[in-house]
Amino acid sequence: MTMPVSARGDSKVLVGVDYYPEQWPRARWPIDAKLMADAGVRVVRVGEFAWSEFEPAPGRYAFAWLDDALQLLRQHDISVVLGTPTATPPAWLIQRHPEILPVDPDGVRVGFGGRRHYCPTRAVYRRYAGEIVTSLADHYREHGAVIGWQIDNEFACHRGGCFCEECRTTFQRWLQRRYGSLEHLNETWGTAFWSQTYTAWEQIPLPARTVAVHNPALRLDFQRFVSDAYTEFQDLQIEILRTRCPRHFITTNLMGLFDELDYFKLSRPLDFVAWDNYPGYHGPADPVRTAMAHDLTRSLKHRKFWVMEQQAGPTAWEGGVDRSPPPGLLRLWTWQAVAHGAEAVVYFRWRTATQGAEQFWHGILDHDGRPRRRYEEVARTAAELAGLELPPDAVPETPVAIVLSYDDRWAWKIQPQHAAATFDRRVGDWYRMFRDYGIGVEFVAPGEPLRGYRVAILPSLFMLNDATAHQAEEFTRTGGLLIVGPRTGVKDETSRVRDVPPPGPLSELLGVEVDEYDAIGTDDAATVDLTLPGLPSLTGRSTIWSDVLGPRSADVVAVYRDQYYAGRPAATLQMAGRGAALYVGGFWESGLLDGVVRWALRQQDLDAAVVRRSNAHDVEAVVWRSAAARYLFLLNHGDRSASLGLAGQWAELATQQPQSETVSLQPFAVKLFVAR
């Protein structure tokens, strides 16, 4: 399916807003539509929380109000993404079927009054959800303003799994399909431990509150089941929409680095993916983490994406109002999304609500609905994007792959190896190091081919199956550089700890085994001396974890200087076929990781886009490529001016004037270049 922007006859980035006409007087709608059009808004998302407006009583549908709102939007050449309203089942439905409400791990059924108050496995809920989606699809299938659909809203936000009796019986049936026999399940789960052997499927519990802790294999399979339940609920709606609205695209709004669902699986049947970006929610924005979320979203289908909710002002739920984005930051966040592959940026929300739970989650307009600074900034940004001229085949350049497994993320959460070994440390540190040189990164699911990448990273892939190990070996022997982090290969895909030392099935390729390990405190760092070929020796700290390595055929490239394992190997390197495999046995500080990245770029003949300057740590560089040219986005996320050096020859895109080696950027500035 072509992307909706192409369907409109152009390839410009769409600017949009999330709009709730049902929350405002009808007399206001024409004013809103005109203000949107004047600001360059070309798409709105509507309806995702409006079930009680669409169906005020069972089987009695009321679409006239939205028809009128959509007609006004259409008159201003504004297209519409229609949300299915299944995230907010109405009060009459809960009154009829209170069993729809989810049950928490303590066995307490939650009450009506928020959102996402449903159990995704409930057959009765799926029936009602299918009916409202069918009615909406039939009514809007030929509507000229509607271009696509958003399924539900932020699946599993606030609450993931449900612990009701229907979930338990559905989980047991899911296990039967997965394992076939109780003998196989008992063997796979290791139920001989603590006398947990099952002799009937009905005996298997959900991992609700219990004495001590549940079997980690049960907990892992329950997380898989929950993810599959949401995917099935989404697929039910997709099937209805595909049948009735074949010309509309279908997406849903994900949540970036959220880890309760397998986003690779959830994304497969969608035409493209979208996500909700709130960089300033609960604290200062971390531009690298936001960039990582953008890149993960793009990687889910390896194509451009939408931001379906983009922060438009200060945010607040119950913890107080967050800082207001200063002038220029909304523009910068929008350009950052575009630089990472967003072809639509939809601001949340159009106008700040005067009622309800999000009264202080600010939109483009404040409560009074009057255009002010944020409105003007969005309008200027929309005008800039309307003038952006890049070839249609231009895409972010990504020579580095990080293998990311949701099974692995769940396994690590179930049995954390160290409290400080967060996702940001295990994965984000590697991402940050390559991004610092303008080297693009994609995320790859286990089993996806690694062909076309130059560097592949297995960052503490705790749960490593044989297929992924084979994938990594093929990549390396055919010329790739493989980098493997600590705690890789500890478990297989069933959550069983392997009866061979880490890195398990990668030991032969890497030429090393872990002789022992030490979960060190962050205050008890181990000092490491690193000497990589062609790189000056470096000394730095390894915190959180120390793998004490036993090389079998690999060369030692780092040793510990202190702790009881002083003098023992901390990292190894082995040539394999036409490639090389590096094992890093700890969570290293940035100086050491920077050395590894500089060596990797040289090893794989990769050109860094930028040369760092000491005062440019807030500058982000993103390189794009097309068949004819390369492009460079520079974004200063700092509130101070910054300067940095460019590697290679570039000209400013707008003027085609050659750029000197050093570039200066004002606070929150964005500059685009083309390679000369």
Q: Tell me if domain 13-160+228-390 and domain 400-603 are identical in fold.
A: no
Confidence class of residue 1 from pLDDT cuts 50, 70 and 90? very low
Q: Which of 570, 470, 589 is closest to 514 using CA atoms?
A: 570
Mean pLDDT computed over 16-21 = 98
- Residue-level pLDDT at 609: 83
Tokens of 591: 């100086």
- Please say whether the beta carbons of 439 and 244 come within 8 A: no
Q: Which of 612, 641, 646, 617 is closest to 631 using CA atoms?
A: 646
pLDDT top residue among 23 and 616: 23
Instruction: Give the integer Cα–Cα distance in Å for 257 and 423.
Output: 9
In the chain, where are the structural domains located?
13-160+228-390, 165-219, 400-603, 610-675
- 13-160+228-390 falls under which CATH superfamily? Glycosidases (3.20.20.80)
DSSP-assigned letter for residue 108: P
Does 579 score more than 80 pLDDT? yes
CATH number of this structure's domain 400-603, picked from the four choices 3.40.50.300, 3.40.50.10320, 1.20.120.1200, 3.40.50.880: 3.40.50.880
Instruction: Tell how strand 455-458 and strand 400-403 pair up.
Output: parallel
- Please say whether the beta carbons of 529 and 559 come within 8 A: yes
Q: Among the options 48, 260, 309, 377, which is catalytic?
A: 309
Does 390 score more than 80 pLDDT? yes
Active site residue 309: yes
Does 534 score more than 60 pLDDT? yes
Count the Cβ atoms, other than its own, within 10 Å of residue 540: 18
In 388-519, where do the E strands start and end?
A: 395-396, 400-403, 441-444, 455-458, 481-484, 512-518
Least confident interval from 2-11, 135-144, 597-606, 619-628: 2-11
Q: Which CATH class for the 610-675 domain?
A: mainly beta
- Compute CA distances 607 → 475, 599, 616, whole Å: 21, 12, 19
Q: Which of 317, 215, 301, 177 is closest to 251 using CA atoms?
A: 301
Active site residue 384: no
Does 59 score more than 50 pLDDT? yes
Does 7 score more than 60 pLDDT? no
Confidence class of residue 333 from pLDDT cuts 50, 70 and 90? very high
Q: What is the CA radius of gyration of the chain?
A: 26
Tokens of 620: 């982000």
The 10s digit of each residue's pLDDT in 536-578 is 999 999 999 999 999 999 999 999 999 999 999 999 999 999 9
The 10s digit of each residue's pLDDT in 454-500 is 999 999 999 999 999 999 999 999 999 999 999 999 999 999 999 99
The 10s digit of each residue's pLDDT in 204-256 is 999 999 999 999 999 999 999 999 999 999 999 999 999 999 999 999 999 99
